[in-house]
Chains A and B, each alone.
Chain A
Amino acid sequence: MKLGRVVGTVISTINAPAFDDRTLLLCDLLDPAGRPAGGYLIAVDTVGAGAGETVLILDEGNSARQVLSAPGAPIRTLVVGIVDAVVEGPTPAATEVPTDTARRKPRR
């Protein structure tokens, strides 16, 4: 999976049937520090991600079709998560995650 940032949407009325009623997000790819890594992907939204959010992008067809429960769909790129925080280096204790970015408490 890849890290990305939602920078826009792609609007399309003429498309393969598998894309009907799906939201296409234009996502810049990021490095773990949150800087643009160069390049972008158009991904189908599955989590309700919005503009400006850092997201987790799945770019593999078999998994994508499984997530969508759409066996024959020509879809390989999905937004599958909204990223709260990326921590580089050793895993910190839960309390060290910046509170403004940690929306969900990790399970013990």
Chain B
Amino acid sequence: MQLARVIGTVVATVKTPGLEGIKLLVIQPLDRSLKPTGGQLVAADAIHMAGPGELVYFVAAREAAQAMPDPFVPVDHAIVGIVDAVSLLAGEKP
């Protein structure tokens, strides 16, 4: 799992069966100092509560679909939690 910032939403009316009703968000993966790293992704929102600007963590691969109500959906990245705080060890550089 990795940290990401939600930066937008995706609206798609024509979707493959199974994706209906799933909220799709654009996320920017972050390194642990919360700086953008790597390309942006579209992730399904498994908690139905994430919105633009929020710091979240997401899971990739098969486990992303496991996070959805129906685990047999074509989803490869899913937001599984909203981050309240990242607490680093004392002396640890962010």
Contact residues of A with B, CB < 8 Å? 6-16, 18-19, 24, 26, 28, 40-43, 51-52, 61, 64, 72-77
Contact = CB atoms under 8 A, between A and B. Distances in A.
A14 B66 contact: no
Contacts of A51: 89
Interface string B56-91: 010111111111000100000010111111111100
A11 B32 contact: no
Contacts of B71: 72
A75 B86 CA distance: 19
Given A8-B86, A13-B84, A74-B80, A42 B2 contact: yes
Given A8-B86, A61-B62, A14 B49 contact: yes
Given A74-B66, A75-B63, A11 B1 contact: no
Interface of B: 1-3, 31-32, 46-47, 49, 57, 59-67, 71, 78, 80-89, 92
Contacts of A75: 59, 63
Given A16-B80, A42-B2, A61-B62, A74 B92 contact: no
A59 to B, nearest CB: 9
Contact of B89 (A8, A74, A76): A8
A13 B81 CA distance: 8
Nearest to A42: B1
Contacts of A19: 80-81
Given A7-B32, A10-B86, A11-B84, 5 more contacts: A8-B86, A14-B82, A74-B59, A74-B67, A74-B80
A62 B68 CA distance: 16
A76 B57 contact: no
